[in-house]
Structure 1
Amino acid sequence: MKKALLALILVFVLIVTAACGSSNTGKDASSSKPATVKVGISPAELPTWNLVKKLAKKENITIQIVKFSDYVQPNIALNNGDIDLNAFQTVIYFDSFKKQHHLDLTDIGTTAIWPMGIYSKKIKDIKDIKDGDQIIVPNDATNLSRALALLQKAGLIKLSSNFTGTEGKESIKENPKHLKITPVEAGQTPRGLDDATAAIINCDMAINAGLNPTNDPIFREDSSNNAYVNIIAAKTKDKDNQTYKKIVDIFHKKEVTDFIKKQYKGAAIPVVKPVSDLKY
């Protein structure tokens, strides 16, 4: 009887041990499965992210690309957990948007600068803008401010001395040509070319509209302003996520930066500096 009981206990121990071994094996197997990361981007950046996706696959990371056609939904989707990262916006826009909408998001890496340009179907030179001409500009706070700064650089207006890069039309101190500066949603700025003398268009929106951001503008930003570096953003609680950091590292690989230079021919300029260097 005792031998039978001992044998029964031994069988029980073996079963429990086997079960524990099976459980650990399953855990190890699941940890070796590819991490899946949803990244929200603008359509203009799809070629680059297709390459990043391919390279990430070699690192056991599966990237799912989600395209957005505006500048509002990608941050809302990130905050709501519908996506894991987004990569479409300048750091100054990001800082302003998350503050305005009370979002707990953090920039974790840099991508590129996409210089903004002044486009026109009616004139060939910025000097041909006449008194009373209409200029279409983006209406969101940071892109409007960026457009005004570009108009000042072009010599068309003068902004107040305390302009910081986040103000609106109230910051215009002098408008000697009485330009009609008309803000519209950023995605609609290319359509303004049919009616207005000129439109100031974000680089990705210009590409989406079939424009060439290198050759078509009659006046263009340079790439020196840190405020307009595009970034990769995550939820703040995920800012130290090693998989997300690996995606940033992949984006900074020479293969990717060389691809950006070749693909966009100056319309996008890769940036590999850390976000901590983006003081503006």
Structure 2
Amino acid sequence: MLRRSLLLVSAALAWSSAAMADTIKIGVTPGPHAQILEAVKPIAAAKGLEIQLVEFSDYVVPNAALDAGEIQANSFQNQPYLDNQKADRGYRIEAVALTVNFPIGVYSKRHKSWADIPDGGKVSIPNDPTNGGRVLLLLRDKGVIKLKDGVGFKPTVLDITENPKKLKFVEVDAAQAPRALDDVDAAAINTNYATQAGLDPVKDPILREDPKGPYVNLIAVRAADKDKPWVKTLVDSYRTPEVKEFVLSKFKGAVLPSW
């Protein structure tokens, strides 16, 4: 009788624990962001937080879905991009933790080095203000172009003051950048899309961004949710030694932890 009572108590506690577990949906882009969150899931589950991943194929929809309450968090963007989205669309979304950095690269199928890019060559850059500006800043820092003073983090091609090679910049959707490689001399490609296309973000770029800077990615939630207990559990589960080791061993320098 005592054994039966203990079994009933144990079952009741297990049911109660399961009932108390939070379940959240997190928006990610395919590739590293999704892979990292898969590594986070069992750690969070052990702390009572169940994570369901929702993959989005572009950079626009995840914030719209978060603001609308279709998901509870997302992990795919950096602060300049989030700031731009909030300014343009009025989203009530806040960053709650920095995660990883993806140094952006410039790739080419036609040329082995940047020095081989001909005068008048075509270079594709992302057509969103944050990532397009990020590439222009990279090209400025490498001495390829000069930009107006005070352009901040979101310069456009209109801010180019010197372009010695007379490069022609072609703006494309970030997700389509790998496809542009066949049609241009060089293409700037975000790391997650580069890895999806089978490119090596460490070895293949002919130019690569300095990993230091404002472009560390982040976890974002609705402003109304930022102080909820599950947010702390999510952040603590992500920023663990186990996840850091996963990132370093899995991506071998293509993705860099921020903690």
TM-score under structure 2 normalisation? 0.92
Tell me what 1:264 maps to: 251
1:101 aligns with 2:89: yes
State the shift of 1:238 in Å: 0.5
Deviation string, structure 1 residues 86-126 (Cα, Å, up to 9, x no partner): 00001110111111111110000111010000000001111
Asked whether the equivalents of residues 125 and 189 of structure 2 are also in contact (C-alpha less than 8 Å), the reply is: yes
Gaps of 5+ in 2: 1-11
Task: Report the Cα distance in structure 1 between the residues aligned to 2:177 and 2:142, rounded to whole angstroms.
Answer: 19
Which contiguous aligned blocks of 4+ residues in structure 1 show a shift greater than 6 angstroms?
none
1:210 shift after superposition: 1.4
Distance 2:17 2:247 in 1: 35
Match of 2:37, SS state, is helix
Pick from 132, 155, 163 the counterpart of residue 151 of structure 2: 163
Report the CA distance between 1:127 and its aligned residue.
1.1
Pairs aligned (count)? 246
Following TM superposition, by how much is the alpha carbon of 1:253 offset from its aligned partner in structure 2, in angstroms?
Answer: 0.3
Q: Is the 8 A contact 1:126 1:154 kept in 2?
A: no
Work out whether residues 137 and 155 of structure 2, in 8 Å CA contact, stay in contact via their aligned partners in 1: no
| Letter aligned with residue 120 of structure 1 | S
C-alpha distance in 2 between matches for 1:34 and 1:212: 39
Q: CA deviation at 1:161?
A: 1.4
Q: CA deviation at 1:155?
A: 1.8
3-state DSSP of counterpart to 1:194: coil
Match of 1:118 among 100, 103, 106: 106
Does structure 2 retain, via aligned residues, the 8 Å contact 1:156–1:176? Answer: yes
2:56 alignment partner AA: F
- Give the conservation status (yes or no) of the 8 Å contact 1:111–1:232: yes
2:53 is matched with which residue: 36, 53, 65?
65
1:234 aligns with 2:221: yes
The superposition leaves residues 13-71 of structure 1 with CA deviations (integer Å, 9 ceiling, x where unpaired) of xxxxxxxxxxxx9xx94895210010001111222111101111111111000011100
Q: Are positions 1:142 and 2:130 aligned together?
A: yes
Question: Deviation digits for residues 199-254 of structure 1, max 9, x if unmatched?
Answer: 001111111211111111011012110x2010000000001111111111111100
Counting aligned pairs with the same residue, the percent is 41
Give structure 1 stretches of 5+ with no counterpart.
1-24, 273-280
Partner of 1:34: 21
For 1:216, what is the secondary structure of its paired residue? coil
Separation in 2, partners of 1:243, 1:262: 28
Report the residue type matching 2:229 in the other structure: Q
Contact 1:107 1:233 in 2 (8 A): yes
> Aligned partners of 1:230, 1:30: CA distance in 2, in Å?
33
Matches within 5 A, 1:198-217: 198-217=186-205
Q: Residue 185 in 1 paired to residue 179 in 2?
A: no
Which protein is bigger by CA-based radius of gyration? Answer: 1
Give the letter for the 2:187 counterpart: A
Give, as a single letter, the amino acid of the residue that structure 1 aligns with 2:199.
L
Q: Matched residues in 1 for 2:200 and 2:132: separation? A: 21
Q: Select 1:194's aligned residue among 179, 182, 196.
A: 182
Distance in structure 1 (CA, Å) of the matches to 2:232 and 2:80 = 21
Corresponding residue for 2:6? Answer: none
